[in-house]
């Protein structure tokens, strides 16, 4: 009986996570695709369809300009298909097949700077969304600008063994300048190296030391057990440092969006070169789990989660992989250099390669998600 109750409970939780995931990812995808859409319309490109999700359509409608707006069955993305596209991945058809009137509204007959602007508008919309969402989050819950001063050194920690003391000011870790205490954890996350070089000041004198961070189990903001690196220090008392000014929230939101995107790209590069494990790649199941957890904590936490996912989506889409927005931008750069369009044959081969890379990454991500469930 207890086993059946547990299964029902897990099933209910899974459905809740799935619904939360579908809603959150649909909003983020809509923002991304609407970025493409609005700039395409500004450059007089005909948009044939605007889909949230892939696969067969669940329902939809046509607007007065002839665009088919629809919600599709698989909530793992979306697309805007424009006149001149052969498919949702924006692989062009032979433009000679179009009438002269159709050519004037085709994406692929527009100047390269216009095509580039349309392509870049998707990731840019996600950046703007992340900044707005984080600004609301920080304005409501407040934020900290904690000085990088050590408040306490944990006994037996790497910092203790390296000779760091309370009152020391951390000024640099490896090549990264430290402005706030929060920068320390950000640098630790982006550097998988086992040994780090720390510069610090004590009594107005500069010192340096090297140490090896320890990996400990901790909990994230949703209560999940995670592994993180630590050197064993805490900050000074921050109770009186909480701020909530609007301009400060905007500035911090821009900074957090930028650092989130940089960390995403850097982590992927480190996985490719073998400095990080492929086990760190998370997929839709993990995102669904976090979607449900954020939804249970209320709208403001959902907003924070959506901001992080939106910034991640912007970063990933700017990678120069065919089928992604960054792949299209890379093609336009090549065309600008060689001063001619790339052949349709090349673009089809590139699309096949890009699809293979993306399917491989998705397979790894889903495999990791399933393994972490058990």
Residue range 218-228, pLDDT digits in tens = 777 666 777 77
Split at pLDDT 50, 70, 90, the class of 239 is: low
What is the C-alpha separation between 219 and 215, in angstroms, rounded? 13
Element (H, E) at 51: strand 47-62
Q: What is the pLDDT of residue 7?
A: 38
Per residue in 69-121, pLDDT (tens digit) is 999 988 878 899 999 887 777 777 777 778 888 888 998 889 999 999 999 99
CA–CA–CA angle 282, 286, 291 (5° rounding): 130
In the structure, what pLDDT confidence band is assigned to residue 241 with cuts at 50, 70 and 90? low
Q: What is the pLDDT of residues 266-292, one digit of tens each?
A: 888 888 877 777 777 777 777 777 787
Partners of residue 149 on adjacent β-strands: 169
Q: What does each C-alpha distance from 107 to 80, 86, 117, 123, 228 come to in angstroms?
A: 11, 11, 11, 18, 46
Residue 354: per-residue pLDDT? 86
pLDDT band per the 50, 70, 90 thresholds, residue 256: very high
Q: Give me the pLDDT at residue 1, please.
A: 43
Confidence of residue 211 (pLDDT cuts 50, 70, 90): confident
Active-site residue list: 33
Tell me: pLDDT of 307 over 60: yes
Angle, in degrees to the nearest 10, between helices 284-296 and 344-373: 60
Q: How far apart are CA 359 and CA 170, in angstroms?
A: 43
Of 278, 286, 304, 240, residue with least CA distance to 361: 278
Residue with the larger pLDDT of the pair 2 and 137: 137
pTM (2 d.p.): 0.86
Higher pLDDT, 21 or 207: 207
pLDDT digits (tens, 9 = 90+) for 57-67: 899 999 999 99
C-alpha–C-alpha distance, residues 260 and 276, integer Å: 17
What's the confidence (pLDDT) of residue 283? 74
The rounded distance, in Å, linking the Cα atoms of 25 and 284 is 10
Residue 4 has pLDDT above 60, yes or no: no
Q: List, in sequence order, the alpha helices (H) in the chain.
A: 2-42, 100-104, 112-141, 158-162, 182-190, 246-272, 284-296, 299-317, 325-338, 344-373
Cβ pair 175, 140 in contact under 8 A: no
Q: Is the pLDDT of residue 30 over 80?
A: yes
Q: SS3 for 113-126, per residue?
A: HHHHHHHHHHHHHH
* CB-based contacts of 12, cutoff 8 Å, min separation 6: none
Residue 235: C-alpha distances to residues 144, 145, 232 (Å): 11, 11, 10
Q: pLDDT at residue 6 above 70?
A: no
Please answer whether residues 286 and 369 qualify as being in contact, where contact means their C-beta atoms are separated by less than 8 angstroms.
yes
Mean pLDDT over the full length of the chain: 85
**Which of the pair, 132 or 243, is modelled with greater confidence?**
132
């Amino acid at each position: 009986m207890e086993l059946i109750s547990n299964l029902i409970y897990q099933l209910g939780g899974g459905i809740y996570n799935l619904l939360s995931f579908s809603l959150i990812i649909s909003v983020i995808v809509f923002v991304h695709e609407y970025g493409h859409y609005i700039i395409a319309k500004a450059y007089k490109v005909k948009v044939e369809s605007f889909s949230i999700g892939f696969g067969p359509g669940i329902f939809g409608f046509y607007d007065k300009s002839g665009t088919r707006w629809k919600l599709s069955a698989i909530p793992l993305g979306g697309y805007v298909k424009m006149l001149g596209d052969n498919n949702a991945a924006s692989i062009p058809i032979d433009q000679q097949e179009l009438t002269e009137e159709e050519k004037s509204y085709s994406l692929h007959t527009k100047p390269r700077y216009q095509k580039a602007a349309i392509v870049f508008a998707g990731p840019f919309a996600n950046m703007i969304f992340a900044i707005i969402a984080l600004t609301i989050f920080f304005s409501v819950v407040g934020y900290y600008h904690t000085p990088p001063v050590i408040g306490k050194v944990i006994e037996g920690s790497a910092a203790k063994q390296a000779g760091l003391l309370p009152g020391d000011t951390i000024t640099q870790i490896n090549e990264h300048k430290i402005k706030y205490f929060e920068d320390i954890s950000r640098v630790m996350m982006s550097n998988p190296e086992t040994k780090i070089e720390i510069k610090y000041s004590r009594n107005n004198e500069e010192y340096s030391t090297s140490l090896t961070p320890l990996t400990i189990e901790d909990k994230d903001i949703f209560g999940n057990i995670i592994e993180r690196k630590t050197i064993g220090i805490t900050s000074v008392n921050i109770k009186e440092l909480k701020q909530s000014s609007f301009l400060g929230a905007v500035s911090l939101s821009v900074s957090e969006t930028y650092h989130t995107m940089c960390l995403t790209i850097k982590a992927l590069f480190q996985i490719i070169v073998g400095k990080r494990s492929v086990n760190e790649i998370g997929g839709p199941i993990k995102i669904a789990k976090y979607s449900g957890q954020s939804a249970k904590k209320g709208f403001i936490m959902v907003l924070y989660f959506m901001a992080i996912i939106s910034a991640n989506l912007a970063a990933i889409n700017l990678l120069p992989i065919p089928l992604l927005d960054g792949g299209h931008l890379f093609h336009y750069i090549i065309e600008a250099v060689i001063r001619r369009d790339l052949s349709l044959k090349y673009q089809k081969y590139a699309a096949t390669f890009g699809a293979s890379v993306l399917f491989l990454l998705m397979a790894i991500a889903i495999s990791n998600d399933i393994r972490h469930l058990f």
